[in-house]
Amino acid sequence: MKESFKQKAPIIIALTLILLTMPLVVNRTFQPQDIRNRAQEELGKGPIAPYVSITSPAHEARVAGTTDVNVEIMNNAPVSGVEFYVDNALRTTVKIQPFKFTWNAGAEALGMHSITVRAYDRNLNVGTKTITIYRE
């Protein structure tokens, strides 16, 4: 019986070491109800990218004339700046709240345009959100 244990001991030790060094994987389905629920869940977990929500105009909205682009940023570190892009061209950077950009859509060509918002925090994490709007 002692011979049997001595023969199996290296295998048992190797399997134990493998099991101890394997990462623990937790399978969790995440379905955020809204921006606040996601951000509150993530707060305190370490550095995360700012969560950006464009509150107006709505995705695929039809706009004409002057339009306010309003955003809400949630993060576990202070936001150091928010950049507003129209069709991949930087239009302005806002460093204090409210994070908003007044866009003269009337000066743009008719048709589809993209609005992208990039938020940076003091840890240089970047959160991005893009919507499509239609200029009438």
pLDDT, tens digit, for every residue of 76-127?
888 999 999 999 999 999 999 899 999 999 999 999 999 999 999 988 899 9
Both structure tokens of 21: 């060094």
Examine residue 61 and state whether it is found in any structural domain, yes or no: yes
Instruction: Give the chain's mean pLDDT.
Output: 80
Task: Say what the pTM is.
Answer: 0.66
Examine residue 53 and state whether it is found in any structural domain, yes or no: yes
Q: How many domains does the chain have?
A: 1
Examine residue 125 and state whether it is found in any structural domain, yes or no: yes
Examine residue 6 and state whether it is found in any structural domain, yes or no: no
pLDDT, tens digit, for every residue of 17-59?
555 555 544 444 444 455 555 555 555 455 688 999 999 999 9
Cβ atoms 70, 82 nearer than 8 A: no
Examine residue 1 and state whether it is found in any structural domain, yes or no: no
Q: Structural domain of residue 56, as residue ranges?
A: 35-135
Query: What CATH number should be reported for the domain holding residue 57?
Result: 2.60.40.10
Examine residue 40 and state whether it is found in any structural domain, yes or no: yes
Buried b (16+ CB within 10 A) or exposed e, 88-107: eeebeebeeeebebebebee
